Structure 1
Amino acid sequence: MTRVLVCGATGGIGAACLAAAGDRGVGVDRDTVDITAPGGAEKAVGYATSRLGGLDGVVHAIGMSGRSLGDGPVGACTDEAWASVQRVNLESVFRLLRAALPALARTGGGSVVVVGSALAHTLDDDFLTAAYAVSKSGVETLVRLAAYEGARHGVRVNAVAPGLVDTPMAGRALGDPPLRARLPELMPLGGRACTPDEVAAAVVWLLGPDSARVTGAVVPVDGGWTLR
């Protein structure tokens, strides 16, 4: 794998991406460099570039659920949930892309991969979370904008869109027996949640040379969720 910065490296998917990168990867999280804060993304990119002697790839694997803050249907979503989820899930993508695009362009190009969500494309009574869904839809628009801007400089920008992934963030859903019983319906390919390693495998492909002509894409890693 190329020299990679992984943001959100202590989360389930981010940790799997960092493990795949091995000694060619540098990870940051909110306890080391908070990219949701002003200047944080630039600091993370500079740190990784210094540690690795250059930078070829960037992964954004930071995300939050706003359920505990009151995220839910549009008519019930709280201001706190809306603001917090947009800051973490969407604004941090903007900040990282703003820092990464010129940095990668200066060194001849590279690849950025953002972790989105299948919930940007589907509606379901058990998963009506307005703030989360809108944040992940916005991520896809940012990815397309950045891919368009970066292409002329050899910078590719793509996203992966997982369904339920077996991480602590999905603990509410996966720990709920009725929801767990729906997995064969929701994710018919295998009838189970994805593992972090399965999502990381798609991220690695998008970072590497086998996807050299792919940019602006959203790759579903959802076990068929968005086919319904």
Structure 2
Amino acid sequence: MFHDLIELLYPRICNGCEAVLLQNEKVLCTPCLHSLPVTNYHLEKDNPVEKIFFGRIPVENATSLLLFEKKGIVQKLIHNLKYRGQEEIGSWLGSWMGTELKEQKKFKKITAVIPVPLHKNKLKKRGFNQVEKFGIEIANSLEVPYYNNILLKKTASKTQTIKKRFARWGSIEETFVLENPETLENAHVLLVDDLVTTGATLEACTAKLLKVPGIKVSIVTMAVTH
């Protein structure tokens, strides 16, 4: 009864159309959920996400759950997660993605999940890493450990729109460090992030992880741009 009263006073709102959610709905109303641009790239070999890294860095597998479109539902989801503190969006997407991945033989070989880290200043300002809940839910589904204290970001990023990707890649790669890397020796790590665009940050993180002996890296993100 108390829960019903809370729902009446503070109704849960759809992150897509802002309609009031029904009792059995989470994050999105049913119409918005059915309109989501789901990629199903985890079912494809040499999918568009994997192709982003071809010739750049050795990645075992790569996929994204959704397609990111400007002013679309996915943009609203990620915005509300990052800037409005709606961490349940990360948990919801992670549970969904994890359920899909655990059915795929290639992802059953994963032995650990690691998030793309935030610099400590940004983490303090935002209060959370937006991929934390996403990664934790995937780790739970795959029944592997989640480590957020091994791959760290030591310097804050600066916008470098003028420089080309290959010119700036080296400086990006140097912003990341490894703590206790021996934990990941001979592991198959799943690196998770919210959005892949050029892939530069994920490439830099992967390059740092590949310094660990015997390691393999796969990549999963919430969304990918067209």
Q: Same fold (TM over 0.5)?
A: no
Query: So what's the TM-score if we normalise by structure 2?
Result: 0.34
Higher-Rg structure is: 2
By percentage of residues, which structure has more helix? 1
Query: So what's the TM-score if we normalise by structure 1?
Result: 0.34
